Amino acid sequence: MGRSEVPPLPFEVAVYHLSVVLLSLVSMVWPTPAPPVSERWHAWPVVRVFPAAVPGHSPSGARVTYVLTGVAPEAPCRVAFQPAAVRPGCRTALRATYADSTQTFVVTVGIAVLDAPGPGRNGSGRPATVRPAAFPGGPAERFGDRQYFTGVVVGSGERYMVATAAGYADGRAYQPGDRVTPRLRDAARRLATALHEALVR
């Protein structure tokens, strides 16, 4: 014959609830320490490294939202970046592609995780940069190496280099001498700057 369960005494219940309250208070007073800057790329959830939406403003001052269209798998730096853009000591690379709220422009953002801080760089035009990442069924499905018109590379001596490649959602290919609209150049710069600042500040 099994033993019947004995209900807890009132003071046992009170002690249990007191312990839960104390643990909650301790976690508020001594919260879990934030990961160091160099570990944020894998300690943070993907949605924090690559937010679903990044707010911004166009050169004319109008509000713009850059919407995430997809996140690529982690890749070696030589795969995710053009050869001339790979920094010595690059450990791995993360990539995601955004589209502006009108689905006119698409921008791939690449984060190079560095073993040691490197010199800062900030360029414009059509530099060696991250390789565009296309995602089917959306505005970035035709975005490839021939489709990027401009890009920006941002680094500030921290453990990350952030680069962008920006082009048009209609799949048009870049031709030497093509003019880059200020809105496209601004999208490349704003996304690179916003995601870099989020990692290092």
Per-residue model confidence as pLDDT tens digits over 30-82: 556 788 999 999 999 999 999 999 998 887 888 999 999 999 999 999 999 99
Q: What is the pTM of this model?
A: 0.81
The edge-to-edge listing of strands for the beta sheet with 148-155 is: 53-57, 63-71, 90-100, 105-114, 160-168, 148-155, 122-123
By CB atoms closer than 10 A (0-12, 13-18, 19+), residue 44 is middle
CA distance 187 to 173: 18
The confidence score (pLDDT) of residue 33 equals 73
C-alpha distances in Å from residue 102, one per residue of 55, 59, 139, 141, 162? 13, 15, 10, 16, 24
Q: What is the pLDDT of residue 60?
A: 81
What does the DSSP assignment read for 101-127? TTS-EEEEEEEEEESS-----EE-SS-
What's the confidence (pLDDT) of residue 20? Answer: 46
Rounded Cα distance between 162 and 96, Å, is 11
Question: What pLDDT score was predicted for residue 156?
Answer: 58
Listed as ranges, residues in the chain with pLDDT below 70 are 1-32, 117-125, 156-157
Whether the Cβ atoms of residue 117 and residue 159 lie closer than 8 Å to each other: yes
Are the C-beta atoms of residues 188 and 151 closer than 8 Å to each other? Answer: yes
pLDDT at 135: 97
Beta carbons of 71 and 95 less than 8 angstroms apart = yes
Length of the chain measured in residues = 201
pLDDT value at position 11?
A: 47
